[in-house]
């Protein structure tokens, strides 16, 4: 994944994006690593209000947003104002 090609998107625009129907990761190991990154980001967000950079895909391109993860469900991460990103759309989480 070339992070430099990711398009920055404001978190307020995320609800208007269309996400892929299938997981953007094909390896079970990468999916497990992503789940661990989400858990770590959630702890940092709730404890220290620390922002992370989330690299994810919509149906058109690689996107990135810098924000705090406030919660998660089985299928989504939750940002401020109940903004959801499907876990299956997330490629990587970068810790600042």
DSSP 6: P
Question: What is the Cα 79 distance to its own chain's centre?
Answer: 9
Bridge partners (DSSP) listed for residue 8: 64
Is residue 1 very low, low, confident or very high in pLDDT (cuts 50, 70, 90)?
low
Q: What share of the chain is helix, strand, coil (3-state, %, to 5)?
A: 40, 30, 35
Contact 42, 96 (CB under 8 A): no
pTM listed for this prediction: 0.93
How many angstroms separate the CA atoms of 9 and 51, rounded? Answer: 15
Question: Could you give all domains of the chain from N- to C-terminal order, each with its CATH number?
Answer: 3-95 (2.30.30.100)
pLDDT in tens, 9-37: 999 999 999 999 999 999 999 999 999 99
Give the mean pLDDT of the chain: 94
On whether the CB atoms of residues 73 and 82 are closer than 8 A, the answer is no
């Amino acid at each position: 994944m070339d992070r430099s090609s990711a398009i920055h998107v404001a978190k307020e625009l995320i609800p208007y994006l269309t996400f892929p129907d299938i997981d953007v990761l094909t390896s079970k190991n990468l999916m497990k690593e992503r789940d661990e990154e989400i858990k770590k980001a959630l702890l940092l967000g709730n404890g220290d209000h620390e922002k992370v950079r989330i690299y994810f895909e919509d149906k058109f391109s690689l996107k990135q947003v810098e924000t705090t993860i406030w919660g998660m469900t089985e299928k989504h991460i939750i940002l401020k104002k109940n903004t959801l990103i499907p876990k299956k759309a997330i490629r990587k989480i970068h810790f600042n």
